[in-house]
Amino acid sequence: MPSKPLPPPASPALPGRPWALLLVLCGAIFLEGIDVAMLAIAVPEIRADLGLSTATAAWVISAYVIGYAGFTLLGGRAADLLGRRRMFLGWLVVFLVFSALGGVATEGWMLIVSRFVTGVASAFMTPASLSVITTSYPEGPRRNKALLIFAGTSAGGFSLGLVIGGLLTQFGWRWVFFAPVLLAAAILLAAVRLIPRDRPAVRQGGFDLAGAASGAGAMVVLTYGIVRLEHGLDGWVLTLAAIGAGLLLLSVFVVVERRSPAPLVRLGILRRGQLVRADLGAMMLFGGFFGFQFMLTLYLQELRGWSSLETSFALLLMGVDVLLAPTVTPLLVNRYGHGRVIFSGFVLAAVAYVLFLPVGSDWTYPMMVPTLLLLGLSFGLAYGPLTIAATDGVDPSEQGLAGGLITTANQFGAAVGVALVTAVHGLSGTGLDAFRASLVVPVAMAVTGLALSAPGLRTGARVTGPGPVPVPRA
């Protein structure tokens, strides 16, 4: 008797209500992306209007990074233990309130506090929204497509935020804070209706307060030390002390988690080789990308004299990933597997950075286009599949933790990349030679990403998710 025909593979389409849910979650990650990008463009105007020192203006940016990177791991686990819906909605309200407070700030310290708390809010919101996706869509093509759309929206938010920030700044820098408030309010109204209710994980032994305190403390202090690398040799004692204290707290966190009857983070999850490689790869991807973009902005504005609006439009070409991620990347992942797509993304990134190494003081914009276009393509290829690799096969009860790990890697990598290129630039003198020297950092990060993603080539053709189960012959 012949076997029954195998069922067709699940369609990656997301009809009806799932699309509405995905739209809300993508709105939140878009909000986070434009918020960061708009402020980066508006900082010079804020500094001039409020009379801020260079150090204070820098901390307006750094405070957000420290809050975000410092609390993301805790935020991801909180989504598992306290409820994804509760964490998403509650911290979206916090984001809304403190963004509004930033818009009415009259002193530098008010902006710094606002940005730090907004970063903490993002640290809880983003892993929660990511884990809503990974627990609402079945593993396989449907979840892959949702994650790739989510990733593309995040990248698109940042790219469009550069332009939107430049435009809003023409009407006053305070609109850079008020515009996200309006978007956050709209997302909140839709999220209350669409995000499914979930039951927090039942835990015996209570909440791991010692693990939460040591883990968050370690990440905050370590991120602070990394951010201080931007200052080069100035205050190097404090920088090394902060990094050392962060590593010590991280060691305390590991000891606490090993002994806790109900650990905040099950350390056994780090035995998943694919997850660890994906997280480290994400650090390299974000570090190289944001480090390069930071130095490119300085090159265009300080060495070439371009305005902030001209610079934002020039960088918009890197936003091609918002078109690639939800359309072409899902097809490539389904055909070749996420491992090979990630590797291809790092290949393009390495080529893009190398092409820019001989940059001159008289380069025309068309001479920059190959690098900008290749970077957009590389980010669109690697970002989403790295998220898939980091969450693939993880138990639903730990999807928030997996989302927190990959989001922490993203933010920590961005902080490391910007800090390293700035430090190298400062140690290499001034002018074009210093800029060229700093470009070695993103090249090295792309090459490291290639090495980390190479093992995925062996299983790259496997489509993520369970395949059809063969029916035995009678």
Give the tens place of pLDDT for each residue, 135-154: 888 888 888 888 888 888 88
| Half-sphere exposure (Cβ direction) of 342: Cα atoms closer than 13 Å | 34
Nearest alpha carbon to residue 113 among 51, 159, 62: 62
Q: Which helix (H) or strand (E) holds 53?
A: none
pLDDT greater than 90 at residue 450:
yes
Helix ranges (H only) for 337-391 are 338-356, 365-391
Mean pLDDT confidence for 394-421? 87
**What count of other Cβ atoms lies within 10 Å of the Cβ of residue 462?**
14
Convert the pLDDT of each residue in 47-72 to its tens digit: 888 988 766 877 888 888 888 888 88
pLDDT greater than 90 at residue 350:
yes
Amino acid (1-letter code) at residue 416? V
The encoded tokens of residue 255 equal 């000891």
Mean pLDDT confidence for 180-185? 94
Q: What is the pLDDT of residue 202?
A: 53
Convert the pLDDT of each residue in 200-228 to its tens digit: 665 555 567 788 888 888 888 988 888 88
Mean pLDDT confidence for 235-248? 90
For residues 399 and 460, which has the higher predicted lDDT (pLDDT)?
399
**DSSP 8-class letter at 473:** P
Q: What is the pLDDT of residue 470?
A: 32
The encoded tokens of residue 253 equal 């966190």
Most confident by average pLDDT, 53-67, 284-298, 367-381: 367-381
Calpha distance 15→17 (Å, rounded): 7
Residues 126/29, Cβ–Cβ less than 8 Å: yes
pLDDT band, very low/low/confident/very high, at 196 (cuts 50, 70, 90): confident
Residues 67/117, Cβ–Cβ less than 8 Å: yes
Mean pLDDT confidence for 230-242? 79
Mean pLDDT confidence for 419-426? 86
Q: What is the pLDDT of residue 203?
A: 56
Q: What is the pLDDT of residue 232?
A: 64
Amino acid (1-letter code) at residue 311? T
Amino acid (1-letter code) at residue 282? A
Least confident of 67-71, 78-82, 298-302: 298-302
Residues 1/474, Cβ–Cβ less than 8 Å: yes
**Whole-number percent of the chain with pLDDT over 70:** 90
Q: What is the pLDDT of residue 301?
A: 79
Q: What is the pLDDT of residue 231?
A: 67
